[in-house]
Amino acid sequence: MRDLELDLDAFEGPFDLLLTLVLKEQLEPAEIDIASIVVAFVEHLATREAIDLDACGEFLVLIAALLEIKARQLFPEEGAELAELEPEEAAEELARRLAEYRRMKEAAVWLRERLALERDRYFRLGPAPLAPRAERRLAPQEPALLAAALAGLAVPPPKVSLSHMALRFPPVAQFLERFRAVLRRRRVFDFDSEVRGFPRIEQAVAFLALLELHKTGEVALAQVSPFAPIRVSRTASERSTAWTVRSA
């Protein structure tokens, strides 16, 4: 923070030196643009990745002190300056300042008159700027129309639907029923040919159903080799249950 480099109208150098010069009364606080210092500090902060709170606090204290010094100098105690002078000296000082300003005002008048005299001197000035073209004026507008146009823009946009992205799982029970029905008709079936043509999701759910049936002991599973068709067959106990049901 103390290494903050400043480039002001009245001063160029580190913030530290500026403070020193002000405290030693070698630099007029009134000439310092404090807003520029604050801007420089904020820019300085923006280049840092992490904010150093200690440095910020220190800066706040220092800049506040500088502001106070400047404010006190800009609004000195009434008459303090002139009170130190004898009336004649004060009048002299005031007259000197007024005369200086008066001369500059007169010089400004001379410049203005000179400008009027030289009005008809045209000369090349880099590329000659073209005279401004007449401005195209808009027809009078209805405020209500503008409001209506703005109102159209102010409406919240429709919510984007994500429904097409959701995964829809068919219930496992659906396949349980389906496989049980197949097994009632046939003793053995091929899982792969049974689910062929179904979407991947449904094939996965069908496989879960198959595992469920295996867990409850309703089916026996056999596979010749990895990735070979899975053969599903009724288990003996299932068969006996079926028998009892049928015989009943």
Binding site residues, another protein, CB under 8 A: 9-13, 17-18, 21, 26-28, 30-31, 33, 87-88, 91-92, 94-96, 98-112, 114-115, 117-126, 128-132
Where does residue 227 fall: left (phi above 0), alpha (psi -120 to 50 degrees), or beta otherwise?
left
Of residues 195, 189, 196, the one with CA closest to residue 174: 195
CA torsion through residues 127, 132, 133, 139, sign: positive
Closer CB to another protein, residue 96 or residue 239?
96
Closer CB to another protein, residue 114 or residue 186?
114
Q: In whole angstroms, how close is the CB of 93 to another protein at the nearest point?
A: 10
Would you say 29 and 63 are in contact if contact means Cβ atoms under 8 Å apart?
Answer: no
Closer CB to another protein, residue 132 or residue 158?
132
CA torsion through residues 37, 43, 48, 50, sign: positive
Would you say 22 and 30 are in contact if contact means Cβ atoms under 8 Å apart?
Answer: no
Q: In whole angstroms, how close is the CB of 131 to another protein at the nearest point?
A: 5
Residue 237: both structure tokens together: 């106990």
Closer CB to another protein, residue 29 or residue 195?
29
Q: In whole angstroms, how close is the CB of 137 to another protein at the nearest point?
A: 20
Cα(first)–Cα(last) distance of the chain, in Å? 95
Q: In whole angstroms, how close is the CB of 77 to another protein at the nearest point?
A: 19
Closer CB to another protein, residue 51 or residue 83?
83
- CA 5 from chain centre, in angstroms, equals 28
Q: In whole angstroms, how close is the CB of 12 to another protein at the nearest point?
A: 5
